[in-house]
Amino acid sequence: MVLVSLGILMISAMTVAQEAPTSQARPSAKAVTIAGTVSNDGKTLVSEQDDAWTVSNADVLKGQEGREVTVKCRPDPAKHSIHVFFVKPAETRDIANRGDSAFRR
């Protein structure tokens, strides 16, 4: 009887030890894509939904200040910050229509 109780106690202790602690302060393990505008100081990215994200590695945004970009990053919702992996300038669209008289020969 004592042996059975000891076995049950060990199994329950191992089950508790195997459970990973859940923490909401953890950064997301999955990379996401965010489109937005880089601030003038290059330390924040304001998304198209008007969320301001602090950039933990702001040196990657150097030269993109004030411009619209798309970044691939890992967000940390608790700190409202992102770690940027890749920066791509926003796509520009042609305003002129190729069928306009200015393009005819």
Q: Which one, of 24, 54, 22, lies nearest residue 36 by Cα?
A: 54
Q: Which tokens sit at 69?
A: 């970009």
Tens digits of residue pLDDT in 42-87: 999 999 899 999 999 999 999 999 999 999 999 999 999 999 999 9
Contacts of 73 (CB under 8 A, 6+ apart): 31, 32, 33, 34, 82, 83, 84, 85
Q: Which domains does the chain have, with CATH numbers?
A: 32-89 (2.40.50)
Query: What percent of the chain stands above pLDDT 90?
Result: 53
